[in-house]
Every structure is written in structure tokens, then in C-alpha cells.
Structure 1
């Protein structure tokens, strides 16, 4: 089963991970308005590539976030 793997890194160490099946995410993504897709893309997240890319190595994306004054990196990838 194809999944989306979301990993949270703090100071280079993975502190949390979550796996979500692609099927339900594709359904939910279909409900999002175009403006939501544009905002996600502006933030550096390409939903179409994550959900539809046939080469999982090309669907790896990183987001830099700050949570409770702690800088974190989020790695989002497709796992077949």
C-alpha cells in the first residue's frame, strides 16, 4: 500500500513520524479549493507531486517550521 510518510526533525534527529495511506489523502485533496493548493505550494508543499508522482524519490519534500519557539524540519515523502 502506498503511503505518505511525515517525519518531524529537531536538531537533525527524527522525533516523530506518521504514515497515512495515499487513497484517503487523494480524496481529501480533491475537496480542497484551488486557493488552498496555491497556499500550500507557496509554503513549499506540492500536493500533486506527493500524491501522484510515480517516482517516490522525486516526491520528497521538506518544510521548515517553528513550533513553540523551536525550529523544526518536516520531511514528507511517498512510500510505495
Structure 2
């Protein structure tokens, strides 16, 4: 009986940790948006991190945040899309 309860608690615990921390991702996003222009590499890192975490957790707004951070990165680097 103890073994069964242990495995059920282990399963519940792993399911709880699999969820994406939306507040944490929002804080990372806002922090990256307020970084200085000379920290463009960090902005790109945060953009990739937010995108991956959102994709793994299934949180759609993280994709938009990641794209906005990527655009901010390219703007700070002076890279623009040519048509």
C-alpha cells in the first residue's frame, strides 16, 4: 500500500512540474525588453528560451513574446529584412 501511494505521489509531482511557469516567462520577457542595447546577445538568448519553454509547455503567448524579443534583438543589431 505504501509503495502504491508513493508512486501515485511521484506521478502527481511530475505532472505538476511539467506545467510552464507563465509568470516566470513574463518576468523574463519584461526583463529582456528592458536590457540595454549592448546586451543584444542576452536578448536573443531570452527570446530562444521563452520560445522553447512556451512550446514545451503549450502556452501560445510565449510564441508571440519570443518573436517580439527576436525582433527587438534584430533591431538593436541593425539587421533589417530586405524585400
TM over 0.5: no
Greater strand percent: which structure?
A: 1
Q: Which has the larger radius of gyration?
A: 2
Higher relative contact order (CA 8 A, sep 6+): 1
TM-score scaled by length of structure 1: 0.29
TM-score scaled by length of structure 2: 0.28
Greater helix percent: which structure?
A: 2
